[in-house]
Structure 1
Amino acid sequence: MLKIILGGVLLIICGSMVITLVPGGLGSAFGFGGPPRGVVARVAGEDVTTLQVQREARQMLRQQMPKAGAQAAMLLPFFASRAADNLINRQVLLVEAERLGLRANDEELRDELQHGRYAQAFFPEGKFIGQDEYEARLRQADISVPEFEQEVKSEILFDKLRNLVTASAAITDADVRKEFERRNSKVKFDYAVLNKDDLLKSIHPTDAELKSFYERNKATYNNSIPEKRKLRYVVLETAKVEAQTQVTPDDLQAYYDQHRDEYRVPEQVNVRHILIKTPLPGPDGKVDAKGAEEARKKAEDVLKQIKSRGNFAELAKKYSEDPGSAKDGGSLSWIGKGRTVPEFEKAAFSLPKGGTSDLVQSSYGFHIIHVDDKQDAHLKTLDEVKDQIQSTIKQQKAARVADSQASALLTQARTAGLDKAAAARGLQVISTDFVSRSDSLPGIGSSPEFMNAAFEQREKSPPDQVQLPQGVVVYEVTATKPPATPTFEEIRSRVETEFKNERVAALLSQKTKELSDRAKAEHDLKKAAKELGATVKTTDFVLPDGQVPDLGNLSGPAAVVFSMEPGEISGKRKHRCGAVFVGKAGAFRAGFCRQERSDTRLSSSKQAAGTFRAFRPKRTRADAKIRQDQD
C-alpha cells in the first residue's frame, strides 16, 4: 500500500504541469521539417531543445544498438520520439522535485562524480584524470562542462525524488499474499474477435466522401509537402585519404609513450561463484533469522561437497541462486577491482590461482568463490598494441589531411566556382534534383547533420563545408522550393487510407458492442459470433502475463477475464481487433514458500519505484494541461 505522499506527489505532477509542444520541433531535430534548431517543448517555462533530443537519441542508439556502425545516422530519427518523451518526462519530474524543495548543490555534484556512476570515467582508482582531460572527454561526447554538470545535478534531483516516493511504500504480508495470488492465478476462456482487415475490405468510399474528408481535415495537410532544395557538393572521404597514409615506427613509439596510461591493465581475477541467497530485509529493515540460518546451512553443505572433490562448475549449475552465472557453472569471467561488493572482492583477490574460499557473506547471501586464473597489473607492450595505435594514427593523419584539402577546395570554390575547384583535384561534383531533409544522398547517405547545414544555407550563397563521420563535404544550394499544401489529387491514396482507418475504427466499435449485446441477450457467444461473422477461439490456462493469439499480452484490455465468473460475457474490448470474452474456468497454483514470499515482496517494492517511472509517459500527457504553441 502506498502512503498518502506517493499519491499526492503524482497527483500534483499530473494536475498542475503545463507542457507546451512546439509544432515541427521534433522533426527539426533530425531533418524532418521545421526550424533546424529550436525547441521541441516547454515544461513549466523550461525548454527541451532539438540539440538535447539529438544527444539523448544518440545515447539511446549507442546503448541499444552498439554495433549500428555506418547505419547509425539512418537509425537516429527512429529514436527521436522516445528521446523527446524521455526528456519531457524527466523535466516534469525535475520541476516537481524543485517544487518540493529538493536541491542538488556543488558538494553533491563533486561526490557524485567521484563516487557515483561517473567515478570510473573521471576518478579511476580514486584519482582525478585532470581538468584538461575532463573537458576533452566531454567535448568528445558533444557536451559542454556546464551542460554536463547541470545534467548530473538533475540526475541527483531525480534520485532524491525517486527515493522520496519509493520510501513511502509500506508493503504488508496481506499485500504480498494478494500479489502472489494475482500473479499465479490462471484462467481459461473463450473469445470472439472481429478482424479489422476484413472490415476494411467492406469500406468503399466515393470520391465525394474522400473530397469531403480532405476538406474537413485540410489543416492536417497544410504544408505537408516539406521544403525542398537542389544541392551540388563534393565529398572528401577520409577513408580514401587514410588508405594512402603512412605510419612510421617513430610515429608508433611517440604515440605509445604519450598514451602509456591507456595501456595499463589492472589486476584481474577469473572467478566462479556459488550464491545461496538470504532473505531480503522486511519493512522494519530486519532479516528473517530463521531464513538466514537455513541459507547458511545450505551453503555449508555445498561447500562440504566441494571440499570432497566435487566439481565446482556442476555444483554451481545445481545449487547457485545467481541466475546470471549459474547456467555457466558460476563463471563471472575476468573482473577487476570495484566491480563487486567489498566482501566478495576481498576474498576473490586474496585467493591463489585454483583456490576456493570458505563461505563469504554479503548483502546478497553466502558466496563460495573459486579462482580459475589471475593476472597481475601490467603495462601492455608496444607490440601488443601496435595495430591499434597504427589505426588511430592513420585516422588522425587522414582527418588532418582531409581538413586541409577541404579548406583549399572551399577557398577556390568561393572564387572560381565549385566545378573548377573540383576538376583541379580530380574530384566529382554531385548534383541533385529537389530533395527534402529526410532524403538519402549519393556519396553521403542519410545524414541529418548534412541536411541541417544545407537547409540553413541561403539559396545561391557562396559554397560552405560540413564535417561528417565519413569525411568533409563542400556544398552549395542552387534552388529552393518552400513547403506546400498538396492538392486532393496529389494525395488521394493517403486520404483514402486515413478515411478507411477512421471509418473502420467506428465500425469495429459498433460491431463489437453489437456482438457483446447479442451474446448476452442470447446467452451464447458462438451463435452471436456466427451471425456477425466473428471468429470464436478457446485458450489454454494462461497466467496474467501470458500471450494469447489475436489478443497479445493479457495485461492489456484482456485482463478483465481474471475478474469474470464462469459463463459471464464481457462487454466490448478495444484491441488490435474487436473482442468479446466469456469466462470458462479458473485455477490457482498453491504453495507460498519463503523464497516466493521474499521474491514477491522485492517485486512489490520495485513496483513502487515502477509507479514512479511508469506513470510518466501514460499520465503526464493525458492528465497534464497540454497546449500547442502557436508562436
Structure 2
Amino acid sequence: MLEIVRNHRRLMLFVLLLLVFPSFVFFGMESYSSFMNNANDAAKVEGRVITNAEVDNAMRMQSEQMRQALGASYDPRQFENAETRRALLDGMIQERLIANEATRLHLTVSDAHLQEAIMAIPAIAQLRSADGKFDVDGYRQLLGAQGMTPEQFDARMRFDLSTQQLVRSIAATDIIPASLIDRLIAIRDQQRVVQAVTYKPADYAARVTPDEAALKAYYDGHAAEFAVPAQAKVEYLVLSADSFAQGVTVTPEELQSYYEQNKKRFQTAEERQASHILIVSPKDAPAADRAAAKEKAAKLLAEVRANPASFAEVARKNSQDPGSAEKGGDLGTFGRGAMVKPFEDAVFALKKDEISDLVETDFGYHIIRVTGIKASETRPLDAVRAELEKEIRTQKATKQYGEAVDQFTNTVYDRSESLKPAAERLKLSIQTATGVTRQPNPALGQSPINNEKVLAAIFSDDVLKNKRNTEAIQVGPNTLVAARVAEYQPATTRKLEDVKDELRAKVVAQEAAALARKAGEARVAALKQAPSDEGFGAPLTVSRSQAGDLPGAALEAVMRADTSKLPAFVGVDLGANGYAVLRINKVQEGAKPDAARRQADIRQLEQIAGQSQFDAYYQNLKSRSKVQIIRPATAPAEG
C-alpha cells in the first residue's frame, strides 16, 4: 500500500489536497490548526512551535551519544524515559527564549570569529590538506550529510555564537567578595569531632509479636507491596544495520578504491624545524627606521652566509625576538598555518640547512634557516585495512537496512496477525521474551523489548486485545522492533494467606524500628539534661567532605547542629537501620588550602554563582514570555 503512495506522489498529493481542503471550508482553519497542534506539538514559545518530532529527535541523538560514550554499560532506560524527555523539552524552551532575546538585543559575531569557531571543529579542520588548501567539496558533502548547506551552517553557527555571548555575559556578572569566599571555604572545611551510638532495630525485634489483626492491617494498608503486575510473553523481530553487517563482504577492489578516496585522512602534514634572526621594524615605522633595520639585517645575512655554522651565535647576540634569541633563534617544529604567510612561504621553499634571503613581515626583517624537515607521510593500506573494512561494511549494511525498512514496516502493519511474514521476507529470527511488564523489567536487561516506547505499544488495546503486531518502532540508530503478545497474565494481588510469613517479617521490622527510634529519642533528651559519654564509640573527626563511617543523614545532622555549647547532642532517624545518637565534642578549623586549591575553589564558586545568576535571569525571562506546554512530555510520542 505504501509503495503505491511512494510511486505516485504527485497523484496522491492531489488526492490529499481534495480531501484536506474541504476540512478548512467546513470546520475553519483555526479548528484544523488546533487539531494538528494537539496531535503533533509539544510546546509553543512566543508563538513558535516545538514539535514532538523535534523532542523525539533530540531523545534519539542524546541516547546515541550516551551509547557511544558508555559502550557495553549503556542502559537505554536511563536516557529514554519521561523525565529525560521533559528535561530535553525544558532545554529546548530555554534555547528558544535565549535565542529570541539575543535577536532582540541584536547580538552578532564577526566573520573572523565565525570562521575561527568553524575551523575549531575537528571534522572540519581535517578538511585542510598538508599544503594548506581547504577541501570545499568535502565541506559541502560533510554538511550535506547533515541536511545543510554551507550558508545554513554559517547562519546556525553565527546564531549559536551570539546566544553564547548572552549566556556568558550574564553568568560573568556575579562577583563574589574575597571575604565571602574565605568564609565559604572555612565552612566547607570545618571539622567536628563526634562520637556515635546506634540503636538497632534487630535488638528490639524479639519484643515484637504481631497478631492476626496487625498482619491484616498492614496487608490492607500496603496492598501495592503484594501486587503482581500484568505480564506478557512477547514475540518480536529486530531489524538493524548490525544484523546486515554480519553478511556483508568487502572485496579487495572496494577496499583499494575506498582507501584512495579517503587517503587524505591518513596523511600527516609536512613539518619543518627552523631558526630565525629578527630585526624588529613595525610596518608603520618611519621609512628611515625601516631602511636602517633592513640594512642591519642585510649585514647579518651576509655574515651568516659567509659562515653558516655561526647562525645560532649570531641569533643569540643580534635577534630581537625575545622568545627565540636565547635559543639561537630556534622556533621548534611547525606545520603550515602556524606562522604569518610570508614567513611560512619562505620556510617551506627552503631546503634543509639553506638560509633564506631577507623576509619582510609586519614584525620586521627575518633571516631564516631550515634545520630539519619532516616529510608528509601517508599510512599504507595495510595499516588501516581493518578500520576501512569496518567502515565499508557499516556503510553497506546501513544501505541494506535503509532498503529493508519500508518492507519491514509495511509487512508488520499489513500482515498484523503474525510476525512470520516479515520474518520470512527479510530472513529474520522471531525472538521471545518472558516476564515483560508495562514498566522496564531489570531482569530483561538491555533487550530491545525493554524500551518504554515498545512497552507502551505492547500493552496498548490494539495489540493486547486485538492480538495484532505493534508497528515498527525505532529503539536506536538504524534499529527497528516489532512485537506481538503470545501470552498475557492480568495484574493480580497475592492473597493474605500466601504472604503471611512475608507480612510477619515486615511488621516486626516496622515495629522494631519504631522501638529503636523511641529509645534513641529518649536517650537524646536525657543527654541534653545530663551530658555523658557512656556507651558512645571512639571519637571520629568528620567534615562536609570527609564523612568517615557516618551515614549521609548523620553527617548532615552533625554539620547542621548548633555547637555554641559543647558537648552537643543530636539524634538521626536512619529508617530500617535504626536511630543514631551523636555527641559533638569539638569544632576545629580544617587545613587551609594551598594557592592552587584556593584558585580551583574560587573558580568553582564563581561558576556556581554564575549559574545561579543565569537561572534567575532565565526564570525572569520565562515569566515575561509566552510559553505554553501543549502536550506534557511524559512519554515518547507515539507513531
1:134 aligns with 2:114: no
Q: Does 2:538 match 1:518?
A: no
- CA shift digits 1:75-113 (9 cap, x unpaired): 543785874685477578669969999968794699997
Q: Which runs of structure 2 are paired with 1:194-343 in the superposition (5 Å)?
A: 194-195=199-200, 208-209=213-214, 211-213=216-218, 215-216=220-221, 228-235=231-238, 241-265=244-268
The one-letter code sitting in structure 2 at the alignment partner of 1:188 is V
- Alpha carbons of 1:133 and 1:221: their partners in 2 closer, same or farther (altered >3 Å)? farther
Give the deviation of 1:250 after TM superposition.
2.3
AA matched with 2:390: S
Aligned-partner SS, 2:537: strand
Distance 1:264 1:536, change over 3 A: same
Aligned to 2:388: 389
Mapped partners of 2:263, 2:449: distance in 1: 38
**For the Cα contact (< 8 Å) 2:558–2:570, is it kept in 1?**
no
Give SS of 1:609's match: helix
> Which residue of 1 is the match for residue 310 of structure 2?
none
Equivalent residue number for residue 436 of structure 2: 435
Q: 1:58 to 1:446 in 2, by over 3 A?
A: farther
Q: By how many angstroms is 1:120 displaced?
A: 0.5
Alpha-carbon deviations, 1:163-200, whole Å to 9, x = none?
4254222313x334434543554332222333466678
Q: CA RMSD in A?
A: 6.2
Cα deviation per residue 1:131-155 (whole Å; 9 max; x = unaligned)? 653353489xxxxx99x99999789
Once residues 503 and 513 of structure 1 are traced to their aligned partners in structure 2, the CA distance between those partners, rounded to angstroms, is 15
Task: Write out aligned runs for 1:70-89 (5 A).
Answer: 70-72=72-74, 74-77=75-78, 80=81, 83=84, 86-87=87-88
Q: For the structure 1 residues 501 and 407, does the alpha-carbon distance in structure 2 shift closer, same or farther, using more than 3 Å as the test?
A: farther
Q: Aligned to 1:169, what secondary structure does the other structure show? A: coil
With the length of structure 1 as denominator, give the TM-score of the two structures.
0.54
Which residue of the partner structure matches residue 175 of structure 1? 180
Aligned partners of 2:487 and 2:78: how far apart in 1? Answer: 24
Conserved 8 A contact 1:410-1:465: yes
1:196-595 to structure 2, matched below 5 A, reads: 208-209=213-214, 211-213=216-218, 215-216=220-221, 228-235=231-238, 241-265=244-268, 379-401=378-400, 418-419=419-420, 422=423, 428-431=429-432, 435-437=436-438, 438-439=440-441, 440=444, 446-447=450-451, 450-451=454-455, 454=458, 458=463, 459-461=466-468, 465=472, 475=482, 477-478=484-485, 484=491, 486=493, 489=496, 510-524=518-532, 526-527=533-534, 530=535, 536-540=537-541, 542-552=542-552, 556-560=556-560, 564=563, 567-574=566-573, 578-588=579-589
Equivalence for 2:281: none
Q: Does 1:189 align with 2:194?
A: yes
Give yes or no for contact 1:58–1:76 (8 Å, CA) kept in 2: no
Cα distance in 1 for residues equivalent to 2:121 and 2:588: 50
Contact between 1:567 and 1:583, CA under 8 Å: does it hold in 2? Answer: yes
The amino acid of 1:232's aligned partner reads E
Match of 1:354 in 2: none
Distance (whole Å) between structure 2 residues aligned to residue 402 and residue 612 of structure 1: 48
Q: With the length of structure 2 as denominator, give the TM-score of the two structures.
A: 0.53
Offset, 1:539: 0.5
Q: Quote how far apart the aligned CAs of 1:389 are.
A: 1.4
* 1:461/1:477 contact within 8 Å kept: yes
Q: 1:164 aligns with which of 166, 170, 179?
A: 170
Q: How many residue pairs align between the two structures? A: 473
Q: List alignment gaps of at least 5 residues for structure 2.
A: 1-38, 129-133, 273-332, 349-371, 618-630, 635-639
Aligned to 1:69: 71
How far apart, CA to CA, are the structure 2 residues paired with 1:482 and 1:151?
53
Partner in structure 2 of residue 21 of structure 1: none
8 Å CA contact 2:232–2:488 kept in 1: the answer is yes
Write the deviation string for residues 572-601 of structure 1: whole angstroms up to 9, x where unpaired: 345575333323234446778766665554
Q: Quickly say closer, same or farther: Cα 1:99–1:537, change in 2 above 3 A.
A: farther
What letter corresponds to residue 609 of structure 1 in structure 2?
Answer: G
Answer with 1 or 2: which has the greater Rg. 2
CA distance in 1, matches of 2:99, 2:215: 51
Supply the AA of the counterpart residue of 2:250.
Answer: V
Q: Which residue of 1 aligns with 2:609?
A: 608
Q: Distance in 1 between matches of 2:90 and 2:207?
A: 41
User: Given that residues 235 and 486 in structure 2 are in contact (C-alpha distance below 8 angstroms), is that contact kept between their aligned partners in structure 1?
Assistant: no
AA paired with 1:520?
K
Distance, in Å, in 2 between the alignment partners of 1:95 and 1:426 is: 46
Would the aligned equivalents of 2:77 and 2:451 in 1 still touch at CA under 8 Å? no
- 2: CA distance between counterparts of 1:153 and 1:54? 21
Q: 2-side partners of 1:480 and 1:611: how far apart? A: 53
C-alpha separation in 1, matches of 2:209 and 2:383? 70
Match of 2:279 in 1: none
Q: Secondary structure at the match of 2:569?
A: coil
Distance in 2 between residues matched to 1:582 and 1:420, nearest whole Å: 72
